[in-house]
Amino acid sequence: MTNNNNKPAEEKKEQFKYELEYDRDGCIGAGSCVAVYPEQWSLDDEGKAVFVKKEFNDNELEKNKEAAQACPVNVIHIRNKHTGELIDQK
């Protein structure tokens, strides 16, 4: 007897745990996020922040949290995609 295990596994492709929510309209270009996490944040020609990666995992959570918490107008948030919770609260 053989088990019928020929179904394709539910592959976990690139499943990211967290995502950034960023309110560009509210950004005042203070640059705190850039100072804290320059690999992720920079200022564009309009003096507004832009980020590199919308989604990421635990290995990048701390730096993203620091940037979110550094923003003086609180326009950067991090959501846990699995639970739906905002997790950058101070």
Residue ranges that bind ligand SF4, judged by CB under 6 A: 27-33, 49, 70-71, 73, 75-76
Find the shortest distance in angstroms from Cβ 65 to ligand SF4. Answer: 13
Q: In Å, what is the CA distance from 47 to each residue of 11, 34, 41, 72? A: 41, 12, 12, 15
For ligand SF4, the closer of residues 15 and 23 by Cβ is 23
Find the shortest distance in angstroms from Cβ 75 to ligand SF4. Answer: 5
- Looking up tokens 């996020």, which residue turns up? 33
Amino acid at 4: N
For ligand SF4, the closer of residues 10 and 25 by Cβ is 25
Q: In angstroms, rounded to a whole number, what is the distance separating the alpha carbons of residues 9 and 36?
A: 40
